[in-house]
């Protein structure tokens, strides 16, 4: 590991400044290749051969029929993308490189004995498909720490936004402020051979993942804590450092953040944030551009922003019905939500058909750390009422809770009460999955994405003509 130089930079905060790790020497020197990149580079040739064989042997096989309903219904159920880092089963939920959430908890290295996995271990797993040793996960922590420097312009850019800029807009703008440092964009301009694209995409992805906790904490502190920034802690792991820089030192909060950042990371490729990152990256837009685009999708209330919406909905429910509402009153509240033409946030899913295992994982955490917390009890009670009401509509395909139904409770318990910020924490985690896949997309040379669109007229003509040509039924 090359030596780190510790410097101080102004952040546009008058007399305040942050100590940062300045990493001027290690990038791209031949002996500076980090352990994870080395492991990845050894895997890439065999995976390239695997894809070649897949195309050669099965390229002409059909993956099924596409109906008009699917084309106009948000492409639901159309298999149309490769995504290596995770896979979603409608009944069982997510598996990260084949491992369920309980598997991750059992197998990935943790910061405390028997504790939650550290996301650095998950990143190793997502990139290599292999469970890292404790030392390998620690090497990722170290690598990210070395890359975590944020230039002083980032806070200046954020400070130029209106006071009421949503934290997700700040995240997107902050990431774009970092884009000028893209190694991939520079390498492309230099004319790098396409077989080398993945290398600078990896560098950008690691840089971005490293900087996100500081960026996210900066957004939190300038929005809610009067702009007083907290220096990174140079011995904490990536997720705990995020909580620490936000202003939370509680060991339970650090464990919660490790778990939170692990389980929100990836949910196969078709969801809006993952698909957007993938689509934009397929045009060879660099990881900053493609991840920022994905974050703008995550900021939608039917996707990641639902975690914010859940809290607003719960607060409104509590304001109207009190902190310990009767089940019948809750039932009526849910029915009123539906009758007013709104969705019940935190429930339903486009693919899942059972309770989201990410919900279950957070519930288990709450049972362990906050069993008597009133908001946890309320969320548990909702589980007994909401699915039944949603099920009665007859149209909602999955009446069960998703990840967003529970995450806010944990954050509230540890004092992170500003719900408009919650999607930023989701977004930091999502970087692990979408950027890891982005590295593989370039390593495998996946092409620019370009599905076919149709007009209503084309569909009408095509099927009206077929109906007219069909023999009349007797
Ligand atoms: C996630 C979600 C967008 C999936 O949408 P989908 O794949 O179209 O879901 P379905 O096929 O079950 O939708 C069928 C109908 O039920 C409705 N529906 C689904 N979930 C609903 C919910 N939680 N509350 C109210 N209505 C819901 C849909 O809006 C749709 O109504 P429409 O036919 O009038 O347009 C949807 O369940 C939702 O809006 N949930 C609430 C927001 C949320 O928690 N998002 C986070 C997801 S991780």
- CB-based contact 369:252 (threshold 8 Å): yes
pLDDT at residue number 13: 31
Going by C-beta distance under 8 Å and a sequence separation of 6 or more, which residues neighbour residue 148? 20, 21, 210, 211, 213, 214, 232
Residue from 128, 85, 139, 135 nearest 109 by CA? 135
Ligand 1 pocket test: which of 396, 404, 429 has the largest number of ligand atoms within 8 Å of its C-beta?
396
Helix (H) or strand (E) holding 5: strand 5-13
Going by C-beta distance under 8 Å and a sequence separation of 6 or more, which residues neighbour residue 393? 338
Spot the catalytic one: 266, 303, 356, 406: 303
Ligand 1 centroid–CA 343 distance in Å is 7
Residue 200 CA to residue 188 CA, distance in Å, equals: 9
Report which protein residue has its CA nearest ligand 1's atom 41. 345
303 is catalytic: yes
pLDDT at residue number 470: 78
Residue 86 CA to residue 265 CA, distance in Å, equals: 10
404 is catalytic: yes
User: Measuring from each residue's beta carbon to the nearest atom of ligand 1, which residues come in under 6 Å?
Assistant: 302-303, 306, 338, 343-350, 390, 395-398, 402-404
- CB-based contact 118:110 (threshold 8 Å): yes
pLDDT at residue number 31: 52
Residue 50 CA to residue 56 CA, distance in Å, equals: 10
Going by C-beta distance under 8 Å and a sequence separation of 6 or more, which residues neighbour residue 70? 76, 77, 78
- Burial (CB count within 10 angstroms: exposed 0-12, middle 13-18, buried 19+), residue 238: buried
Residue 474 CA to residue 261 CA, distance in Å, equals: 62
Spot the catalytic one: 204, 349, 356, 406: 349
Residue from 234, 238, 394, 405 nearest 314 by CA? 405
Please name the fold of domain 72-450. Answer: Citrate Synthase; domain 1 (1.10.580)
pTM of the model: 0.93
Q: Please say whether the dihedral angle defined by the alpha carbons of residues 216, 222, 226 and 231, taken in this order, is positive or negative.
A: positive
Going by C-beta distance under 8 Å and a sequence separation of 6 or more, which residues neighbour residue 44? 198, 443
DSSP one-letter code for 455: -
Report which protein residue has its CA nearest ligand 1's atom 34. 395
* Beta-bridge mates of residue 95: 87
254 is catalytic: no
Residue from 96, 137, 127 nearest 263 by CA? 96
Ligand 1 centroid–CA 348 distance in Å is 5
What sections of 340-455 are H helices per DSSP? 357-369, 374-393, 404-413, 422-443
DSSP one-letter code for 452: -
Helix (H) or strand (E) holding 154: helix 153-159
Predicted confidence pLDDT, tens digits, the chain (474 residues): 332 322 222 333 322 223 333 333 344 434 567 999 999 999 999 999 999 999 999 999 999 999 999 999 999 999 999 999 999 999 999 999 999 999 999 999 999 999 999 999 999 999 999 999 999 999 999 999 999 999 999 999 999 999 899 999 999 999 999 999 999 999 999 999 999 999 999 999 999 999 999 999 999 999 999 999 999 998 999 999 999 999 999 999 999 999 999 999 999 999 999 999 999 999 999 999 999 999 999 999 999 999 999 999 999 999 999 988 999 999 999 999 999 999 999 999 999 999 999 999 999 999 999 999 999 999 999 999 999 999 999 999 999 999 999 999 999 999 999 999 999 999 999 999 999 999 999 999 999 999 999 999 999 999 997 788 877 654
Residue from 425, 431, 174 nearest 311 by CA? 425
Among left, alpha and beta (phi > 0; psi -120 to 50; other), residue 14 is left
């Amino acid at each position: 590991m090359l030596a780190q130089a510790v410097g101080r930079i102004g952040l546009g905060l008058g007399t305040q400044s942050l100590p940062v790790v300045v990493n001027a020497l290690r990038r791209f020197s031949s002996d500076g290749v980090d352990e994870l990149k080395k492991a990845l580079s050894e895997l890439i040739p065999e995976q390239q051969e695997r894809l070649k064989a897949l195309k050669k042997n099965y390229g002409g096989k059909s993956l099924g029929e596409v109906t008009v309903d699917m084309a106009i219904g948000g492409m639901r159920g159309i298999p149309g993308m490769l995504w290596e880092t995770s896979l979603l089963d409608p009944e069982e939920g997510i598996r990260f490189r084949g491992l369920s959430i309980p598997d991750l908890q059992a197998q990935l290295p943790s910061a405390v004995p028997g504790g939650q996995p550290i996301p650095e271990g998950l990143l190793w797993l997502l990139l290599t498909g292999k469970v890292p040793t404790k030392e390998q996960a620690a090497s990722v922590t170290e690598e990210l720490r070395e890359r975590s420097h944020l230039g002083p312009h980032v806070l200046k850019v954020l400070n130029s936004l209106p006071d009421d800029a949503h934290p997700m807009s700040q995240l997107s703008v902050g990431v774009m402020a970092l884009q000028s440092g893209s190694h991939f964009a520079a390498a492309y301009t230099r004319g790098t051979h396409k077989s080398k694209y993945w290398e600078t995409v990896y560098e950008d992805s690691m840089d971005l993942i490293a900087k996100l906790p500081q960026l996210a904490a900066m957004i939190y502190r300038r929005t809610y804590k009067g702009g007083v920034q907290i220096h990174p802690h140079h011995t904490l792991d990536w997720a705990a450092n995020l909580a620490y820089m936000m202003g939370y030192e509680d060991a339970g909060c650090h464990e919660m953040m490790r778990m939170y950042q692990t389980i929100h990371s990836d949910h196969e490729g078709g969801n809006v944030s993952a698909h957007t990152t993938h689509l934009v990256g397929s045009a060879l837009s660099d990881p900053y551009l493609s991840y920022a685009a994905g974050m703008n999708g995550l900021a939608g209330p039917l996707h990641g922003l639902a975690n914010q919406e859940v809290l607003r909905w719960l607060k409104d429910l509590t304001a109207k019905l009190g902190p310990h509402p009767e089940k019948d009153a809750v039932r009526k509240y849910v029915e009123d939500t539906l009758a007013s033409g709104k969705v019940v946030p935190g429930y339903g899913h486009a693919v899942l058909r059972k309770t989201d295992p990410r919900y279950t994982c957070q519930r288990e955490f709450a049972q362990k750390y906050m069993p008597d917390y009133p908001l946890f009890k309320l969320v548990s009670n909702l589980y007994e009422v909401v699915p039944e009401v949603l099920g009665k509509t007859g149209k909602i395909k999955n009446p069960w809770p998703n990840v967003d139904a529970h995450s806010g409770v944990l954050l509230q318990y540890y004092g992170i009460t500003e719900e408009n910020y919650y999607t930023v924490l989701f977004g930091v985690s999502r970087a692990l999955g979408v950027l890891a896949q982005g590295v593989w997309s370039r390593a495998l040379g996946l092409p620019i994405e370009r599905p076919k669109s149709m007009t209503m007229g084309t569909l009408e003509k095509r099927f009206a003509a077929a109906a007219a040509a069909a023999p009349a039924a007797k």
